[in-house]
Amino acid sequence: MRSASEPLDLDPGRQTLVSVGSMASVIESLPTSAFGNLLVVSPNAPARVEKTIERQGGDPSRCGHIPLTSSAPSYEGPLWTTSPVAPSDLTGLSMRYSRAMEHVESGRGWFCFDGVQLLLMYAAADDVQRLLTTMASATRTREVAGVYGLAHEAVTSETYERLASIFDDSVDRRPR
């Protein structure tokens, strides 16, 4: 596990699980280069994702968002978004991911899943593990860097280890 002090800069295709604090967004751990072509899955409203990207120095018009929520957020801004998907709908999430990844450039794009623990509140750990394995594999094959944020305190040690085994690396960005 790499430390929080090292810059989070991944080679194309590298998939990393990032432990974050319960209220933190893994988007804040991305390097500036990620915001040139980024797809984000997040339970946060598009306007909040947009603001987080802007705070990091990114251009939201170069980023996409799959809202992980049961309600349709109202948003008109530069961030392109898909229709929302409920956290319990792993098939719907997989379908939106597949379509949206067509806009992420191989060799230079980034994929960011913010709030992996939310899926575990609505779906069985085995199903979540299968989905994340599929996403990480497809993202790796496209040579897109992948960052998957998980509030470490929200899962058991066993669940964390199961999920960590999917990825190439893990990083701890929780506050000390």
DSSP state letters, 61-122: GGEEEEEBSSS-----SSSEE---B-TT-HHHHHHHHHHHGGGSPTTT-EEEEE-THHHHHH
**Lookup: tokens for 170:** 């893990």
Please list the rounded mean pLDDT of every run of 10 residues in the chain (176 residues). Answer: 59 96 89 95 95 94 95 87 95 97 96 96 96 98 97 93 96 86
Q: Are 152 and 1 in contact (CB under 8 A)?
A: no
Model pLDDT for residues 86-133, shown as the tens digit of each residue: 999 999 999 999 999 999 999 999 999 999 999 999 999 999 999 999
pTM of the entire predicted model:
0.93
Q: Which fold has domain 15-172?
A: Rossmann fold (3.40.50)
